[in-house]
Structure 1
Amino acid sequence: MSGTFSLPASRTEVVLEEIRRGILTRELRPGQPLVEAELAQRLGVSKTPVREALKVLSNSGLVTFSPYKGASVCVVDAAMARDVFDLRLMLEPEAVRRSVQRGDPAVVDEAAEALKAAQAALPDRDHAELSLLNRTFHRALYAGCGNPLLIDILDQLRDRSALISIVGWDANPSWRKEWNEHKAVLAAARKGDADGAAELLRRHIADFLERILAVT
């Protein structure tokens, strides 16, 4: 969110990504009011794409609306973390199991690329970049499950999961541990071990939830 930039076809999409990155980098702090006029001025756009972007981010869980206070950055608490990760634990391992069973090599290739990029980003400790790559890795593995509705439900959890991850990393920088866990999941997927990949992913999600609950 460094100022005016060149806008492609969709102003809302660009503004959406700028505000999302601002939240994930903690430039926009938890609980901070998101005033349309101020954001529009900072980003060099009208208030309309800002308003539309805030609505999308509200649906994805990064922004909350109050009848009297307007929009603000979502604050992560234990209840939110438990609800989001509980749903992921129920759905994501099964989605990955089905994805590996289907055997599409593009699934493994995309996940491997995200993992490689995450390894390169580890030394910089760029929370936002690591969070986005984490999202890419997980989605690559479940997106081949063959059930569009299941994919859509998991996609709707991605922003909330990213925000929860940032909170966890602030308290306990555990990127390298998670990167190694991702490597193990990917190795199982490469071998076509659907049940093994699903179980490793389940443990990965459950362990991170336990760490989050310890600090929220």
Structure 2
Amino acid sequence: MTFAPASIPSRTQYVQEAIKHGILTGQLSPGQPLVEADLAAQFGVSKTPVREALKTLAGTGLVVMSQYKGVTVRTVDAAMAREIYDVRLLLEPEALRRSVVRKESLAAAQDALVRAEGAEDRAGRSLANRDFHRALYLPCGNPLLTRMLDEVRDQAALVSTVAWAASPSWEQEAREHQEILWTALAGDADGAAGLLHTHISDFVRRAFPDHEEAGA
């Protein structure tokens, strides 16, 4: 994988987005070391933008910085998945309900479904899946709610990437996505929110069957 360096003002962002794309598409595996010197050579930049990019990615939860192990791609386990998906369960269905009540356009969600159906690999499906969910909550009318969901979006995508590698379930999820969207387009706000809640909770149960429900 080779990249052309970006202009000087945007080098940190460029490196950050490239590393994030590698993580969320499975090109960089959980637990894989991220060595500053190697990344700087790969992207054709100095160590400084790489270091700043890794700090930002650590803040979003995609990488882990350790005094002894250096920087590694975050490892996904059942506890981490439950923590992230608990937040989604609390916030995302309500955001969708509000989007439907406000009668906002969900055309971007339909576009994401089309892209997911036509994707040639897991990476393309993962990115389209991520866009689909954001398209549902983005029009909710509450910028703070949107930002809170955006904060866990990358980590949720990482969970999905790891889960799909172990047990592909995108065909079932695609059917569930279509049902959620149809219900939302029909104006049934509570019905769409309920389907989304079930969709999110069922994914964790399928992906991590040995993990007990929170609070159980």
Q: Secondary structure at the match of 2:76?
A: coil
Q: 1:197 to 1:74 in 2, by over 3 A?
A: same
* Equivalent residue, structure 2, for 1:131: 126
* Equivalent residue, structure 2, for 1:21: 21
Q: Secondary structure at the match of 1:65?
A: strand
* Equivalent residue, structure 2, for 1:92: 92
Pair 1:75 & 2:70 matched: no
Alpha carbon RMSD of aligned pairs, Å?
1.5
* Equivalent residue, structure 2, for 1:55: 55
Given that residues 21 and 128 in structure 1 are in contact (C-alpha distance below 8 angstroms), is that contact kept between their aligned partners in structure 2?
Answer: no
The amino acid of 1:114's aligned partner reads A
Q: Secondary structure at the match of 1:143?
A: helix
The amino acid of 1:185's aligned partner reads I
* Equivalent residue, structure 2, for 1:12: 12
Pair 1:114 & 2:126 matched: no
Which segments of 5 or more consecutive residues in structure 2 lack a partner in the other structure?
A: 212-216
Pair 1:157 & 2:155 matched: no
Q: Secondary structure at the match of 1:72?
A: strand
Residue correspondences, number = 210
Farther off after superposition, 134-143 or 28-37: 28-37
The amino acid of 2:76's aligned partner reads V
Deviation string for 1:174-203 (max 9, x for gaps)? Answer: 111111111011101111111011001001
Q: Secondary structure at the match of 1:45?
A: coil
Cα separation, 2, equivalents of 1:129 and 1:154: 21
1:213 Cα deviation from its structure 2 partner: 1.2
Q: Secondary structure at the match of 2:72?
A: strand
Cα separation, 1, equivalents of 2:109 and 2:186: 14
Q: 1:97 to 1:16 in 2, by over 3 A?
A: same
1:114 Cα deviation from its structure 2 partner: 0.7
Percent of pairs identical after alignment?
56
* Equivalent residue, structure 1, for 2:214: none
TM-score (norm 1): 0.92
The amino acid of 2:132's aligned partner reads F
TM-score (norm 2): 0.92
Cα separation, 2, equivalents of 1:13 and 1:52: 9
The amino acid of 1:134's aligned partner reads N
Which segments of 5 or more consecutive residues in structure 1 lack a partner in the other structure?
A: none
The amino acid of 2:16's aligned partner reads L
Q: Secondary structure at the match of 1:32?
A: coil
Q: Secondary structure at the match of 2:64?
A: strand
Given that residues 33 and 72 in structure 2 are in contact (C-alpha distance below 8 angstroms), is that contact kept between their aligned partners in structure 1?
Answer: yes
Cα separation, 2, equivalents of 1:141 and 1:44: 37
Farther off after superposition, 4-13 or 175-184: 4-13
Given that residues 25 and 122 in structure 2 are in contact (C-alpha distance below 8 angstroms), is that contact kept between their aligned partners in structure 1?
Answer: yes
1:11 Cα deviation from its structure 2 partner: 1.5
